[in-house]
Structure 1
Amino acid sequence: MEGTRLRSSPRDGSSSILKKGEGAGPVAESGWPLTVLEDPAKCSSVSRVDSVAEFRDFVRHGRHSEGEMCILTEGISKLQLTNSIPETLSEVLSQRKKLSAVEALLKTIEQGEDPWTGELFWWPPGETRREEVLGEDLRSKLLRYRPFVETCYAAELRSSRRGPHPRSCEQTDTLTSLDVKDLVTSHGSVPLWDRGHGFLGSSGAGIGLHVDQAWWSNIAKNFYGYKLVALWAPGSNVLETCGGELFRKPLCHRHLSALDRCCAVALLRPGDVACFTGGLPHTTLVVGSELNLTFYESFVNWNCDNLALLLSGLQRPIDQAWWQNNMSPEFAQTVLDDILRVVDAGGKLEEFQERFVSFLRSRPIAAARLAGKVRPSGEAPMKRRCLRS
């Protein structure tokens, strides 16, 4: 199947994710072997570009389903997203005083009128599987965890109340006022886009090895700090051996072996914006002394390979562990409804859109929905959540 596929080495022309003269820098304490970080085969699947147009083309048309990744260097500023996150959070993270992730969030929440919600995870010393902090709301979770010093990660940060987005007026719980969605869709629609949520963590935190509940593509907007990302190719059995586990040091033999078999590895630097699929096994790890803040968006573009991956994922069982679980049938239904509404909106289609529609109609799971009624345009979509990275 057709589709844009970028292939380029990092900006400095080396075969390493590290910049020339950068040294190990923030990745030195990760425990991830340099043989993995400097593997030419893994780095060749990652394109680091300077052009907004090139990045936008990868987002709208590129093939992501084989583990390809595109990073727009200094994308936060190039896409004019610098002021898109809550001002209070930005001010707290910009202070020279070093705060823990818990203290930074508490300080932010206590200054705002809109209560936030989200999940809070932590890892006992030496453990790779996470524990969840329970509580009625995010603030109570943070206060409960406050006395402890272990690594923690705040996931799916969002508003507790849905309201109109300042740009599109759509109902959303996102905390961002401007997204890559607004910049990409201004050049034409895409079949599906979810504005997503934020993730904040300290060194050694992250999301364990998993696939997203929906096998769509992700946008990672890395506002602060450094984060390592690794992806595995289709058909990998890595979830069977390391599913749900965080690749934190000291890495065991299983983790070292798994990293050796990943198909792509990248270091997200402050200001980078990256695009890759959430439908393949992937893991992230915050590195360096700074707190890391990344906001994610999810979408389906016009590439038929990516659509095939999404549809195959929607047919998985839903009773699996969190790291390979599927969306509920009701939520999966809304995903298909949203896609069908865009492709059936009428008007002349471009050639690449016609190929997408033809492929969609040939898939049994989508054809069944086409035989029914699409949700009325005035009806609000069901809220769907999907753990990302």
Structure 2
Amino acid sequence: MSGLYIHIPFCKQACSYCDFYFVTRHQQKQNFVDELLREIRSKKDSRFTHEAVRTIYFGGGTPSLLSPQQVEDILQAIDETFEVALEEITLEMNPDDVSREYLAGLKSAGINRASMGVQSFDADLLDFMHRAHTSDEALRCLEILAVSDFEVFTTDLIYGNPKQSLDMLERDIDTLLQFNPPHISAYSLTVEPRTRLGKQVELGRIAPPEDDVVADHFDLVVEKLAEAGIQQYEVSNYAKPGSEAVHNSSYWSHENYLGLGPAAHSFWWDEDLETAHRWSNKPDLNHYLESGWTSPHDKEKLRLPTLAEERLMLGLRTAKGITLEELKQRYEFTFSPKQKAYLQQMEKQGKVETGERVRLTKQGLKIADAILLDLVTAA
């Protein structure tokens, strides 16, 4: 198995743009951990323990609302249940939760990669995003992280915010680079319909920036990070050589993974390697606490044509792309004449490179979603 994803559903408050499942009441936190331990232990001697776990990712929600002891208890249960050959154990953190003592506790518990949700250092943007932390807390957490025992960490940035200028974004990037991060995830702000931001846009109170403005932001991120030796290896992810995220890379490669906790998703190949299944736990903490995880939610059987399309879209979002051999051997897929013609057209425009491997260029990655949609529908 490539990895385990553990969804921690607690947050201090709702960020304006976030549509992940979370709750802001924390009274059930220990009950949740106890139920999570039961879910983990229920997998013992199951088909999910036949492959070694390589990565563990604590996402949310806000995993840094757990204590180091709770994290250690979770990791201990995993060690007792699964075969483990761990390369990477990541925990997402919010800057306002971080202290020297907390980081030391997490490191002692077994976490070896910190993911810091900075998003911006600009006070007005943080207020717009309805983040719980301040600009000073963002700076302080990175200062603490820089002198901690964590050698591997990543930070998040969000660009393409309404009224965010290129100068504002450049200041954010320059500030972040002072801390020499080995990995950065930089996301364009997405307006999701069931969020506070989505409602404001729907009511006409907020106007998202134009596409050309977001494209300029993207170019600035790619350029500034490349100058610092931090190369784009996926549409939204940048790393120094050797610091790429192992866990997320496994998602993009279509490897097996198991999700634990409310709203967590799983993907698993069947033994025939011609079909796979995807399912999730229901996004409902109370349902989860009543052992609702015993009944898969939204279970879907995926056949090779669907899997091929999905792998193509995942692979082409990465800088290395995907080989024609993998598409043919693993998915029995070859491009149709219309798709080949489209790829040739994109290659002439400098957005795609073809051959034994198909990949998007830097210009192609900038409009990856549009290219992928056109490519898939060209079939």
The structure with the greater share of residues assigned to helix is 2
TM exceeding 0.5? no
Higher CA-based Rg = 2
- With normalisation by structure 1, the TM-score equals 0.31
